């Protein structure tokens, strides 16, 4: 009866998931990027603010998926003054945006604004996937001047030699990718979305069979809808950034060897000294644990820790068990490192 009721409700009344986001205030905007500060009903318990850094090709709503299952909502309830940098939706004119633009312009601007409006000298950053890579590059390039006290890196690869089969495919197809990207400009979302779904073609069928089996469970169906809607909302990937990532990171694995140049400056990971928490997914087929966890041995942080959880790439930030396996241990780790230093 519940299955029939929920099916009828979705068919005639629309999605079960309310399209409500955590209230926020626009703090800063430049080009297509913007910085928002989330509103809380209570005063932050910790003075050091948190800046969320999303990956490219997707919308940052993955951090604020739905009421009752939102990383943003969780961080606010845990007492953190929470900000988000939204890189916006790239247009055709943005196809020349590079990784250096994100690391040397967008993120430093956001970090400076966060410190300005909070009156704090330091901040923490949380990044997932490519967002985590941006934080790593930022911390390695700016060192102590970047004012980054704590970094939480979730599912972000650094040893691309262990990123099978993507590293191999990038080495084989690097030249065709560059040519195709020059023709297209930005990578259209239909390509990234289709590629993402085809990583586990059998998994797509399995997921819909699971939906049928769980149609009686309103919360499960709401979670399915939220993730499905988010995946269908992929956005263009800036062409120049995509070429750089495929060529320099995936194909040639230059990051761990200190051979990445951003704005003419080499990126040396041993300049990364912030407190570091690395969270990897034991079931992650996009960024396997073996290519994520080596970061703790590449940096100079005296305070570095790895947590591996039985989750896939999306599950790390938005899965049904993310609050228990990822959000709660991350909040405890941040809490101990977010008090004002004497």
pLDDT in tens, the chain (342 residues): 776 766 666 665 566 676 668 999 999 998 789 999 999 988 999 999 999 999 999 999 999 988 888 999 999 999 999 999 999 999 888 889 999 999 999 999 999 999 999 999 999 999 999 999 999 999 999 888 889 999 999 999 999 988 877 776 677 767 777 788 888 888 888 888 887 766 665 556 666 677 666 666 767 677 777 888 888 889 999 999 999 999 999 888 899 888 899 988 999 999 999 999 999 999 999 999 999 999 999 999 999 999 999 999 999 999 889 999 999 999 999 999 998 654
Specify if 47 maps to a domain: yes
Specify if 25 maps to a domain: yes
pLDDT of residue 159: 93
pLDDT of residue 342: 41
The 10 Å Cβ neighbour count of residue 135 is: 28
Specify if 341 maps to a domain: no
Preceding omega of 17 cis (within 30 degrees of 0): no
Supply 166's token pair. Answer: 């993507």
Are residues 260 and 266 in contact, defined by beta-carbon separation less than 8 angstroms?
Answer: yes
Give the HSE-up count for residue 120: Cα atoms under 13 Å, Cβ half-sphere.
Answer: 23
The residue whose two tokens read 């949380």 is 126
Distance from C-alpha of 227 to C-alpha of 56, rounded to nearest angstrom:
17
**CA proximity to 16, closest of 24, 7, 25:** 7
Helix (H, G, I), strand (E, B) or coil at 125: strand
DSSP line for 52-110: EE--SSS-GGGGG-BTTB-HHHHHHHTT--EEEEE-----GGGTT--HHHIIIIIHHHH
Specify if 342 maps to a domain: no
Q: Which residues pair with 29 in a beta bridge?
A: 34
The residue whose two tokens read 């704090």 is 120
The 10 Å Cβ neighbour count of residue 280 is: 24
CA angle 252, 102, 298 (to 5 degrees): 50
Q: What's the total number of domains in the chain?
A: 1
Specify if 332 maps to a domain: yes
Supply 21's token pair. Answer: 């986001």
Specify if 286 maps to a domain: yes
Q: What is the CATH number of the domain that holds 310?
A: 3.40.50.1820
Supply 209's token pair. Answer: 């069979």
Q: What is the pTM of this model?
A: 0.90
Domain that holds residue 218: 2-336
The 10 Å Cβ neighbour count of residue 341 is: 9
Supply 253's token pair. Answer: 């694995």
pLDDT of residue 161: 86
Specify if 203 maps to a domain: yes
Supply 242's token pair. Answer: 């995509």
CA separation, residue 100 to residues 109, 138, 159, 265 (Å): 13, 10, 20, 10
Ramachandran category for residue 147: left, alpha or beta (phi over 0 → left; psi -120 to 50 → alpha)? left
Distance from C-alpha of 228 to C-alpha of 113, rounded to nearest angstrom:
33
**CA proximity to 320, closest of 68, 9, 127:** 68
Helix (H, G, I), strand (E, B) or coil at 328: helix
State how beta strands 24-30 and 33-38 pair: antiparallel
Distance from C-alpha of 242 to C-alpha of 57, rounded to nearest angstrom:
10
């Amino acid at each position: 009866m519940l299955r029939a009721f929920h099916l009828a409700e979705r068919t005639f009344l629309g999605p079960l998931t309310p399209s409500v986001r955590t209230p926020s205030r626009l703090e800063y905007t430049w080009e297509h990027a913007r910085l928002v500060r989330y509103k809380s009903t209570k005063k932050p318990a910790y003075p050091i603010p948190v800046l969320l850094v999303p990956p490219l090709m997707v919308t940052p709503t993955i951090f604020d998926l739905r009421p009752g299952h939102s990383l943003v909502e969780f961080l606010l309830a845990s007492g953190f003054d929470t900000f988000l940098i939204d890189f916006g939706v790239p247009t055709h004119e943005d196809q020349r945006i590079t990784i250096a633009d994100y690391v040397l312009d967008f993120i430093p601007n956001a970090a400076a604004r966060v410190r300005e409006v909070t009156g704090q000298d330091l901040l923490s950053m949380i990044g997932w996937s490519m967002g985590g890579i941006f934080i790593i590059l930022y911390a390695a390039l700016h060192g102590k001047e970047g004012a980054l006290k704590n970094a939480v890196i979730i599912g972000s690869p650094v040893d691309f030699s262990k990123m099978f089969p993507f590293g191999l495919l990038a080495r084989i197809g690097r030249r065709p990718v560059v040519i195709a990207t020059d023709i297209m400009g930005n990578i259209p979302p239909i390509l990234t979305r289709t590629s993402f779904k085809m990583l586990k073609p059998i998994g797509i069928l399995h997921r819909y069979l699971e939906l049928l089996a769980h149609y009686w469970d309103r919360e499960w169906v709401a979670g399915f809808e939220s993730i499905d809607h988010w995946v269908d909302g992929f956005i263009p990937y800036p062409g120049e950034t995509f070429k750089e990532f495929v060529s320099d990171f995936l194909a040639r694995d230059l990051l761990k060897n200190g051979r990445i140049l951003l704005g003419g400056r080499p990126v040396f990971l041993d300049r990364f000294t912030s407190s570091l928490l690395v969270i990897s997914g034991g079931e992650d087929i996009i960024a396997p644990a073996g290519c994520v966890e080596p970061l703790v041995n590449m940096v100079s942080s005296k305070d570095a820790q790895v947590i591996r959880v039985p989750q896939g790439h999306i599950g790390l930030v938005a899965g049904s068990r993310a609050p228990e396996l990822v959000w709660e241990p991350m909040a405890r780790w941040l809490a101990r490192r977010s008090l004002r230093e004497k």
